[in-house]
Amino acid sequence: MEKIILVVDDEPGYRDLLHLELSDQGYTVLTAGGGYEALEILNKGKVDLIITDMKMPKMDGLDVVIASRRLRPDIPIILTTGYAVEERVQEALARKASVCLRKPFNISELVGLVNKYSRV
């Protein structure tokens, strides 16, 4: 069964890298440049897991977690951050983000988490 991953990040190079790496692992990867675009994608179709950056303009990762939980309370969410305010990260985890991965991270670490959470 095909697993669909939604990557949300305002940095195009980062989105492209994750798209390439996760596609190579056999996942179908959708990308969004921000939270509002991510919610449109989530509303339109099947998504099995979300990877979202914490620091983004207009709608940050915590906002994505909160809005996604309203639409899909069961979906695993991997939060990535390079320089987030710790309180926002802790609130995202309290609101059921599955895990927070600190940047820079090893791509194999991310793939391992995607494999773990996409089986749920």
Per-residue pLDDT tens digits for 22-69: 999 999 999 999 999 999 999 998 999 999 999 999 999 999 999 999
Q: What is the pLDDT of residue 84?
A: 61
Q: What is the pLDDT of residue 103?
A: 85
Least confident piece of the model among 12-16, 74-78, 82-86, 100-104: 82-86
Per CATH, the homologous superfamily of domain 4-118 is Response regulator (3.40.50.2300)
- Give the span between the Cα atoms of 3 and 76, in whole angstroms: 12
Q: What is the pLDDT of residue 120?
A: 53
